[in-house]
Amino acid sequence: MFALGRVDKGVNCSVVGCANKAVRSLSRSDIGSSGLSVGGEGRRAYLCHDHYKAWKKATKNSRSLERSRW
């Protein structure tokens, strides 16, 4: 588990086609499992408020799906 970090002002969302200001940074692998398409380089990716909400929703769904298989 990693801590969700606040993002300095001036960083843009890493999602392809999105130009909003980022509010959260996440590890790229965590975003990859959510189905969001992230551009750029490096291990960190940045999400704006809208995409952060979408990411949270997507990962919540996948977590509850895994749990329902048990």
Given a contact cutoff of 8 angstroms between Cβ atoms, the answer to whether 15 and 22 are in contact is: no
Write out the binding residues for Zn ion, residues 30-49 only, by CB under 5 A.
48
* Amino acid letter, 50: D
Kindly tell me which residue out of 12, 20, 21, 58 binds Zn ion, with binding defined by CB under 5 A.
20
Assess 24 for contact with Zn ion (CB under 5 A).
Answer: no
Kindly tell me which residue out of 18, 26, 31, 38 binds Zn ion, with binding defined by CB under 5 A.
18
What's the closest the beta carbon of residue 50 comes to Zn ion, in angstroms? 6
**Other CB atoms within 10 A of residue 13 CB:** 26
3-state SS of the chain: helix, strand, coil percent to 5? 35, 25, 40
**Residues within the interface to Zn ion (CB under 5 A):** 13, 15, 18, 20, 48, 51
